[in-house]
Amino acid sequence: MDQVLSTKHSWYIEWAWVGGYSSLSTLVFIFNILIFFSVGKNKFLHYSFHYVIVALSLRNLLRVILTLCLVFLAKLIQTPWLFKATFLIPANKSTDGLDLTQSASMSLTCEVLSVWDHILMTTLMFYLAGSSLYMFCRHPNPSISDPSETTLKLYGIVPVKERSWVSPLLLLLPPLLAVFLCLPIPILHETHPMTALPGGSVCNLHESLKFNTYQSSVAILGFLLPSAIVFCLMIGLSIRRCISCSGGTCVSSFCKEEMSLALLTLPYLAAYLAMYLPLLDHYLQKLDLPQTGLQPYITPEIARAVEMVLGLLLPAVVYSVLPGYSRFSSEPDASDLRRSKKESYNQAVTAPDSTRLSQESLELDCVIRNGYMS
């Protein structure tokens, strides 16, 4: 049974967690906001994949705000008079004998937090699944554009061009699906417990209501299905990259984007699996199978803290794998420049041969016509 934080842990442990969250949230805010400027300053990053990166950085910022709200709420519950002054419960409602950690005590607040929590979790997975599908459907490398392009004359390569409907679809569809998945929360009042501090669980439910059909559906549709899609498409992208490398062109900006997607996906799959450990153990027990035995070590607050740490993963990946983010100027990827120069050189080498063959064909045609005339 969860207890109030102040009765279970000493003050220095609680405030160590609060201080850790404060420092971490500052770092996540700084580095994720920096991504906005990186993409905005470089026009070679103005296409769908990098728009999704911007959306994911915004999602990280909202996730940090949610976690800080849970920390604030857990500390606020310890002082009912201050909690009542925040208007989270009606002014005419007495808090005497009221367990504020229960979802029934503040139903509206718990519904808002539950919707926010599920939307941010499932939106990330839908974005990763959509991005992997987008990468699988496009060419393995950036295409060579018309030499008359002004940007090509200046840099040797032009920005990626794609159809106008691709970016809106890739940006708007994942959060729309997440909103549809979370509609039962306000309609059917399907909340779930959330923990950001040791012993500071909020929106608690009875044990029989924690693992219902809706929570299982969210886990399947919002985590397992996108994970399976991403995993299968990552295997397909790896095979296609091997075929592309055997054909001559190997490393390009598209190759680096595929690698960044893999580096971003795998840690999040592990973190989200840790957050779903109670649900997994519940169904393993119902199937008379041995449980994972990891819950005593990976508690809900640790899993949520790790998921918040992963807010730094996105900036770390894009700034280490994708050079265009660290330049803060409109410069193409060096790999694309080398590839463009190599293909231009190959075209220049083959061009004289093509001209000579065309001239020989023309001369042969003239000889044949003269033969007919004579």
Q: What is the pLDDT of residues 193-236, one digit of tens each?
A: 999 988 889 999 988 788 899 999 999 999 999 999 999 999 99
* Mean pLDDT of the region 258-263: 94
Which residue(s) pair with 204 in the sheet?
102
Closest listed residue to residue 310, CA positions, set 172, 160, 161, 120: 120
* Mean pLDDT of the region 14-40: 93
CB 260 within 8 A of CB 268: no
Would you state the pLDDT for residue 327?
87
Give CB contacts under 8 A, 24+ apart, made by 129-132.
129/174, 129/225, 129/226, 129/229, 129/230, 129/233, 130/52, 130/170, 130/173, 130/174, 131/49, 131/52, 131/170, 131/261, 132/229, 132/230, 132/233, 132/234, 132/237, 132/261, 132/265
Would you state the pLDDT for residue 200?
84
Task: List all residues 6 or more positions away from 219 whose beta carbon is below 8 Å from its beta carbon.
Answer: 276, 279
Tokens 């439910």 sit on residue: 205
Say whether pLDDT at 373 is over 90.
Answer: no
Q: What is the pLDDT of residues 308-344, one digit of tens each?
A: 999 999 999 999 999 999 988 888 887 777 776 666 5
Say whether pLDDT at 260 is over 80.
Answer: yes
Return d(Cα 63, Cα 190) in angstroms, integer: 20
Question: What's the chain's average pLDDT?
Answer: 84
Q: What is the pLDDT of residues 104-160, one digit of tens each?
A: 888 888 999 999 999 999 999 999 999 999 999 998 888 765 555 545 545 557 788
Would you state the pLDDT for residue 153?
46
Token pair for 137 = 């459907």
